[in-house]
Amino acid sequence: MNSRQSCRRPYGYVANSTDCNDASRRINPGASEVCGDNIDQNCNGIADEQCTVNNDDDDERDDERDDD
C-alpha cells in the first residue's frame, strides 16, 4: 500500500465546499445546465431546471404528434 502526504490541495479542490463534483471540471456552481442529461451541472440540487420539455414529439413513433 502506497500513501502520500502533501500540503498542496488536489486538482478541483474548493475551500467553500460548493463544488458538488470535484472529479469533473464541467460540474461546478458556475456551470450552465446541459438539457436532457439529468445531471445537475451547476450544483444547485436541481437537474435540468432551465430546460423545457417538448411533449409534442412522436414518442410512440407512430408518425403522429402526441399533442399532450
Contact predicate 29/17, CB 8 Å: no
Classify the phi-psi angles of 66: left when phi > 0, otherwise alpha if psi is within -120 to 50, otherwise beta.
alpha
Q: Tell me, what's the pLDDT at 23?
A: 85
Q: What is the 3-state secondary structure (H, E, C) of 4-49?
A: CCCCCCCCCCCCCCCCCCCCCCCCCCCCCCCCCCCCCCCCCCCCCC
Q: Tell me, what's the pLDDT at 45?
A: 93
pLDDT digits (tens, 9 = 90+) for 9-50: 766 666 777 888 888 889 999 999 999 899 999 999 999 887
Contact predicate 50/39, CB 8 Å: no
- Please give the residue that has the higher pLDDT: either 20 or 59: 20
